[in-house]
Amino acid sequence: EAEVAQSPRYKITEKSQAVAFWCDPISGHATLYWYRQILGQGPELLVQFQDESVVDDSQLPKDRFSAERLKGVDSTLKIQPAELGDSAMYLCASSSGQGTSKAYNEQFFGPGTRLTVL
Amino acid sequence: SQKIEQNSEALNIQEGKTATLTCNYTNYSPAYLQWYRQDPGRGPVFLLLIRENEKEKRKERLKVTFDTTLKQSLFHITASQPADSATYLCAPSYLGGRRALTFGSGTRLQVQP
């Protein structure tokens, strides 16, 4: 069964360092999402891609976060510099994005990357 | 801005009983609503989607209702089992939006054997 892959699963870093997370969505899925989930809360969207284009990054702290999906397949999320408040689970999800109601498709989530900033 | 409310307190029930979880939303009218299950340390898993013109949706032991007047969705698990213990997230969205789902904070369900 196809799955969304993420790496690393765990990352510990010191504040002011740079970190990067990688996501490989389900093959053929045009829409890719990065979410941040703080313990005890629901996932919060950081950025949404349709193919290689960003369609929503309104919640992405652009002074320190960046995301790219150069070939419209896998994606990288970077934080530079990391801050203590960035400690969270970073989730990647993908959906097929087909049809007129493409925003309504179920999303398939990866296992996440647990980031701890010391 | 839109607000999504799920009971933050954990729901504890006995095995075999029906669990009912509530999702309330304000300040907008979603065209559909999804429910996800999340186990500790893992990503959410899709369970059900219900559209605004549907009153009820069923899948095996799961049932979801959607009341657009009350701005509320109820999620039911009948004949609950300890394996149903998890956090359940509701995620309404809205017609025409490119924006991805907006998730509630989730309700943790604990089914006691």
- Whether residue A13 contacts residue A115, with contact meaning beta carbons closer than 8 Å, is answered with yes
CA angle B3, B4, B9 (to 5 degrees): 130
Chain A residue numbers with beta carbons less than 8 Å from the beta carbon of B102 are 45
A49-53, B4-8, B92-96, range with the lowest pLDDT: B92-96
DSSP structural state of residue B18? P
* Ordered domains of chain A (ranges, CATH): 5-98 (2.60.40.10)
Contact check, Cβ <8 Å, B103/A106: no
What is the domain partition of chain B in residue ranges? 3-112
- Whether residue B19 contacts residue B111, with contact meaning beta carbons closer than 8 Å, is answered with yes
- Per-residue tokens: A13: 């870093």
Q: For B43, which of A48, A50, A110 is closest by C-beta distance?
A: A110
Give the model confidence (pLDDT) of B38-83 as tens digits.
999 999 999 999 988 898 999 999 999 999 899 999 999 999 999 9
Give the model confidence (pLDDT) of A65-114 as tens digits.
999 998 889 999 999 999 999 999 999 999 986 554 544 678 999 999 99
Q: Is the pLDDT of residue B110 over 60?
A: yes
Chain B residue numbers with beta carbons less than 8 Å from the beta carbon of A107 are 34, 44, 46, 100-101
Q: Is the pLDDT of residue B24 over 60?
A: yes
Give domain B3-112's CATH superfamily: Immunoglobulins (2.60.40.10)
- Whether residue A89 contacts residue A114, with contact meaning beta carbons closer than 8 Å, is answered with yes
